Structure 1
Amino acid sequence: MSYSIGQVAGLAGVTVRTLHHYGRIGLLEPQGRTGSGYRQYAERDLDRLRHILFYRELGFPLEEIATILDDPGADTRAHLRRQHELLTGRIGRLHTMIEAIEKEMEADSMGIQLTPQEKFEIFGPNYSEDYETEAEQRWGDSEAWRQSQQRAGKLTKQQWIEIKESTDDLNRRLAEAMTSGAAADSPAAMDLAEEHRRGIEMFYDCSYAMHRGLGDMYVADERFTRTYDEVAPGLAGWLRDAIHANASRHEA
């Protein structure tokens, strides 16, 4: 079966102009022609175009793509293996970036006062200061924000490292409790929720009502949900329920 240039453009989601360009530079030049001289693309041409667009999406220059595809030692299976490896590597890097950003978002809400270099060192190479602006816009007028700025400003770099390690350890124990089958309103879960609240009080006074609100935010804001659910699927909702149960226990 053969396809016209318009049909190929529609199938691949590219413009006819792009296909003409690929033809001019010898990257994709179909051998088929109609009686009127119009290009006709065969199945093998569509396969080549798919590989071109994949490598293009990953940022490869057209010249390098041509070299890769014209390698006589590489068949379709070799290209698929290579593409799988490239995608797997990219996914891993993206997950690392997401984790670093989400940790930074949570830290920003606490009012971290570190130099950019220290933030890169503690939170990873994908640190961005954009989230500090968001945190200030959301909570800048609150007493909690003012307290967090004052208290966080007195912490040293080593103290921040210890806080991060302590937070990671608490998240691990929360996940272990949940996955072991502990109910969110069990004494063990509520004790962990109380430890979570006291950790927040290092930065600002966190009443049980405020803690309830934070728990709700962990579920309502998908960015916080991902932060906890990356530790263990469902952890954000379980922690929210444990926070509510602990608040009810202390407010009774």
Structure 2
Amino acid sequence: MPDATDADGLTVGQVSTRLGVTVRALHHWDEIGLARPSLRTAAGYRLYTAGDLERLHRIVVYREIGLGLDRIRTVLDDSPADVPGALRAQRTQVAERIDRLQQLSAGLDRMIDAHERGLLLTVDQQAAIFGPQWNPDWPAQARQRYGDTTQWLQYAERSASRGPEEWQAIADAIAGLDRALGDAMDAGVTPGSPEANQLVERHREVFASYFPLTRQMQVCLGRRYEADPAFAAHYDGIRAGLATWFRRIVDASARAHGIDPDTATWQ
């Protein structure tokens, strides 16, 4: 490495400022032989010449478009005729990356909407799937009431990935469960029986479409079905007394799993 005076080139710090790269990066490129300063002062400090700076400019450009250091070395040191091919290959990779980012952006938009709205369906879609008794204001009311809970977060994450077909399948599963509950009550199925316990487990599985439901949470939900006028009207509209019967089979199942329904909490 030829000796020079300080006026013959730029120091590492000066190049770092001029190109907007870190001193550490310049030292690394020097160590791996990608861009070495051509001069050294009498005091031993390395200096970059105009030619060195031109190479560094190209490295910065190629790095910003996504080329790795090994690929940059090849582009810089091999035949200039190879450069367009390398850049075309990189352009293809960039286009693929842009497509993935656009998909990610669309997914994030849906996730944001799901957190804020709860249900990513139009009013007409909601009516077609959930029936004429469905109130399209319910998701917004639920967001206002439960929006700061873990369960709303879990519900929103599931909702973001669902379209009308998935929601129709969930609505069908709920309707099927409601019919099974009414039929079981008519048949005289008793709380704590295998048939009743099977229905309790089925309820937890169906409800998991919204968020995971623990047994303690299910007890709390059973009490809400019985005490809340809207829920009670729904279940009692299927069969008179069904809300209370459902609460009783949930309580019996909870006891069988060592849970006291009287002290169960939402956890």
* Corresponding position: 1:166 with 2:211: no
Aligned partner letter, 1:177: A
**Partners in 2 of 1:228 and 1:126 — Cα distance?**
13
The structural deviation recorded for 1:111 is 4.0
1:11-90 mapped onto 2 (5 Å cutoff) = none
What is the aligned counterpart of 1:179 among 186, 194, 204?
186
Of residues 127-136 and 207-216 in structure 1, the stretch that sits farther from structure 2 once superposed is: 127-136
Give TM-score, length-normalised by structure 2. Answer: 0.50
Give TM-score, length-normalised by structure 1. Answer: 0.53
Q: CA 1:127–1:245 in structure 2 vs 1: closer, same or farther (change >3 Å)?
A: closer
* Corresponding position: 1:241 with 2:231: no
Q: Which has the higher contact order (CA 8 A, sep 6+)?
A: 1
Return 5+ residue gaps in structure 1 as ranges: 1-109
**Partners in 2 of 1:120 and 1:200 — Cα distance?**
20
Aligned partner letter, 1:165: D
What is the aligned counterpart of 2:129 among 108, 113, 122?
122
1:128-177 CA distances to partner (integer Å, 9 max, x unpaired)?
Answer: 33222221122111101110011122122111111111111111111111
Match of 2:159 in 1: 152
1:111-139 CA distances to partner (integer Å, 9 max, x unpaired)?
Answer: 43312231122133564332222211221
Secondary structure at the aligned position of 1:155 is classed as coil
**Partners in 2 of 1:234 and 1:194 — Cα distance?**
20
Match of 1:216 in 2: 223
Match of 1:23 in 2: none
Match of 1:230 in 2: 237
Q: Does the aligned pair in 2 maintain the 1:119–1:127 contact within 8 Å?
A: yes
Match of 2:196 in 1: 189
Aligned partner letter, 1:145: W
Q: CA 1:127–1:241 in structure 2 vs 1: closer, same or farther (change >3 Å)?
A: closer
Aligned partner letter, 2:207: I
Q: Does the aligned pair in 2 maintain the 1:151–1:203 contact within 8 Å?
A: yes
**Partners in 2 of 1:114 and 1:250 — Cα distance?**
38
Aligned partner letter, 2:175: D
Aligned partner letter, 2:253: N
* Corresponding position: 1:142 with 2:149: yes
Return 5+ residue gaps in structure 2 as ranges: 1-116, 260-267
Aligned residue-pair number: 143
1:74-110 CA distances to partner (integer Å, 9 max, x unpaired)?
Answer: xxxxxxxxxxxxxxxxxxxxxxxxxxxxxxxxxxxx9
* Corresponding position: 1:199 with 2:209: no
The structural deviation recorded for 1:238 is 0.6
Q: Does the aligned pair in 1 maintain the 2:147–2:153 contact within 8 Å?
A: yes
Which protein has the larger Cα radius of gyration, Structure 1 or Structure 2?
2
Q: CA 1:127–1:217 in structure 2 vs 1: closer, same or farther (change >3 Å)?
A: closer
**Partners in 2 of 1:175 and 1:113 — Cα distance?**
30
**Partners in 1 of 2:256 and 2:118 — Cα distance?**
29
Secondary structure at the aligned position of 1:203 is classed as coil
Secondary structure at the aligned position of 2:257 is classed as helix
Q: Does the aligned pair in 1 maintain the 2:170–2:209 contact within 8 Å?
A: no
Aligned partner letter, 2:149: S
Q: Does the aligned pair in 2 maintain the 1:113–1:149 contact within 8 Å?
A: no
